[in-house]
Amino acid sequence: MKLIDQYGRIIKDLRVSVTPRCNLHCLYCHPLGWEQSEPPGTLSVEDTRHFLKAMQMLGLESVRFTGGEPLVRKELPQMIAAARELGIPDIAITTNGLLFKRKAKELLSAGLKRINLSMDAVTPEVFRTMTRGGQVEKVWEAIETAWELGMHPVKINAVMIRGMNEQEVIPLASLSLDKPLEVRFLEYMHLDNSNPELYHARFISGAETRARIEAHFGPLERVDHDPTAPARVYRIPGAVGTVGFINPVTEPFCSKCSRLRLTADKKIRPCLLTDLEMDIAWAFEAENPVEALVDAILLATDRKPAFGNTLPTLRERVMVGIGG
């Protein structure tokens, strides 16, 4: 069975936020903090299993666990194992990497296939400033650990913000020259409720980032990729890895969107860039939760809008509350 919205888009990818907590405080994000336990009402392992089962019945092909920082959630391996037991082909996490080396083997045993790592800078001082204390060396340890364990591909996500890390474009792109990395440059989205004037001043388009790379390395070569994926993928001539551009503001990919999001507090978010959410806590408490969740997912999919709103407007929730 395929899950198809009213605009003909096949919904086959899921993002599950397992916690709003994080062990970094990046300048463009506002995490809950380093509390020792999850807020009341947070998804349990059993809740996650039921939701994954409902999505699997509707054709789910890929799940990525996010946060906050998903590795601060101690039950993450059990959640990954639930996805593996259901036969979901692609199981990934988005992480800052700080805890990955310590937990990698357990995650691999549970069924993790690949990782996306947040790395907004190569230079230690710039990374430390953007993350308010993070150590980029920990991200390198995560990358090397993923390679050692045979995880592929390893993707690097870098949010580009003027006045903070635009000078990191070439060092970041250079990582793809001799390493099998997918380095993706993301446009800064107004999901932090920052002052609109400040947001516009900080915004860097994907076209500008690409122009910087091509001015240094020459024209990029197009690489074939999944057309429903958000990144436009290229290769620096002769490079081992690739570079990609995720441009939700200047080049929205809404018409090809294949995703739903489940927040840590049990809400379905059909679109990242609108405030539309459905509270489905009731479905998890139903006598037959999987059946109730299938109904909730079908309704949420039917309400998925044609387009998101990329304008700098006040959001009901910032990114960490939605799940990155």
User: What mean pLDDT value characterizes the chain?
Assistant: 92
Write down the pTM of the prediction: 0.93
Nearest to 116 by CA among 149, 158, 61: 158
- Number of domains into which the chain is organized: 1
pLDDT of residue 293: 98
What is residue 188's DSSP assignment?
A: P
Q: Is residue 106 part of a domain?
A: yes
Full residue range of the structural domain in which residue 125 is found: 13-321
pLDDT of residue 290: 98
Q: Is residue 181 part of a domain?
A: yes
Give the confidence band of 193 by pLDDT, cuts at 50, 70, 90. low
Q: Is residue 278 part of a domain?
A: yes
What residue type is assigned to position 300 of the chain?
A
Residues composing the chain: 324
Highest mean pLDDT (candidates 164-168, 185-189, 225-229, 320-324) = 164-168
Q: Is residue 288 part of a domain?
A: yes
pLDDT tens readout for residues 235-249 = 999 999 999 999 999
Check whether 310 has a pLDDT greater than 80: no
For residues 172-201, average pLDDT: 89
Q: Is residue 298 part of a domain?
A: yes
Cα 208 to the center of its chain, rounded Å: 22
Strand partners of residue 301: none
Q: Is the peptide bond before 59 cis (omega within 30 degrees of 0)?
A: no
Q: Which CATH number covers residue 153?
A: 3.20.20.70
Nearest to 54 by CA among 289, 263, 211, 264: 289
pLDDT tens readout for residues 23-38 = 888 877 765 555 556 7
Q: Is residue 17 part of a domain?
A: yes
Nearest to 280 by CA among 270, 268, 272, 269: 268
Check whether 71 has a pLDDT greater than 90: yes
For 144, residues 6+ apart whose C-beta sits below 8 A from its C-beta are none
Which parts of the chain fold into alpha helices (H)?
Answer: 45-57, 76-85, 100-110, 124-131, 136-148, 169-174, 196-202, 206-217, 281-284, 289-302, 319-322
- Give the lowest-confidence range in 37-46, 60-69, 121-130, 131-140: 37-46
